Amino acid sequence: MDDDPLLARATQLGRLLFTQDEDFLRIAAQWQQAGSQFTGILYAHPQGASLGRLIEDIELIATCSEPDELSNRVTYLPF
């Protein structure tokens, strides 16, 4: 699936999108400039933290954040 439809589908389902694909940084910026709504993107650099650390951060976000705090923005991991 291409990236734009993937972000659209995640938004339709009300899901955050976790990615290590830098293309989503560009797509998020385009959607923000166009005023298009999306649920939110969690982005981690491919050579960043360990998988365990990323899972801990995602779990923290899932339990401590409200959906409106993450919508229409990119959250960079690890914290």
Q: Where are the domains of the chain?
A: 3-77
Read off the tokens for 74: 């990119």
User: Is residue 79 very low, low, confident or very high in pLDDT (cuts 50, 70, 90)?
Assistant: confident
The SS3 assignment for 42 reads strand
Which residues have CB under 8 Å from 69's CB, separation 6+? none
> What average pLDDT does this structure show over 56-73?
94
Full-model pTM: 0.90
Cβ contact 40:75 at 8 Å:
yes
Structure confidence by residue, pLDDT tens digits, 6-52: 999 999 999 999 999 999 999 999 999 999 999 999 999 988 789 99
